[in-house]
Amino acid sequence: MQRFHSISVVISLFVFWLVLSGYFTPFLVTVGLAVSVLVVWFAHRMDVIDQEGHPLQLRGGVVHYWPWLIVEIVKSAWTVSRLIVHPRLPISPTLLRVKMSQRTPVGQVMYANSITLTPGTISVAIEGDEIVVHALTQAGADDLVGGEMDRRVSACEGRA
């Protein structure tokens, strides 16, 4: 698993190099590959590389989760934009605590980031297995308490 993970990191870095360089001569491609391998090797020696930085285990779940997340983001961004241009600014900010059912730190980060990414809700702090969330409207808070996002992130995490 460890070896497989390292190879995956090398491939990602190499693709990144190719995209940034844009030259496909044999020499430069070889240099790129060598640099990718060296970087991963150094990273191993410095102990800065782990499952969290390159969460390969999520590859299956993410495909199901992201489309739903993007639809959610568009919907809530539209709602927040309507609130902003509303002449009376009808907001009712609340601070609430949401339980999260994720087991791994990666899953928790994913959930917290998803909350922040959807406009209208921001994860402020994590305390135990609860996230302190600031919501712009009561409706947004109710949506979150409904727990659909939590369920989907957990499902995405569990698919690993």
Q: Which residues of the shown chain bind other proteins in the complex (CB under 8 A)?
A: 16, 19-20, 22-23, 25, 28, 47-48, 73-74, 77-78, 80-81, 83-85, 88-95, 105, 108-109, 112-114, 116-126, 132, 134, 136-138
145 and 96 Cβ atoms separated by less than 8 Å: yes
Count of Cβ atoms closer than 10 Å to residue 77 Cβ: 14
Instruction: Give least dist CB 7 to other proteins, A.
Output: 21
Read off φ and ψ for residue 59, nearest 5 degrees. Answer: -60, -35
Instruction: Give least dist CB 131 to other proteins, A.
Output: 10
110 and 64 Cβ atoms separated by less than 8 Å: no
Judged by phi (left if over 0) then psi (alpha if -120 to 50, else beta), residue 90 lies in beta
Instruction: Give least dist CB 87 to other proteins, A.
Output: 8
Instruction: Give least dist CB 1 to other proteins, A.
Output: 17
The identity of residue 46, as a single letter, is: M
Q: Is the CB of 33 or the CB of 73 nearer to other proteins? A: 73
**Angle 46-49-52 (CA atoms, 0-180°, nearest 5)?**
150
Instruction: Give least dist CB 118 to other proteins, A.
Output: 8
Query: Is the sign of the CA dihedral 48, 52, 53, 55 positive or negative?
Result: positive
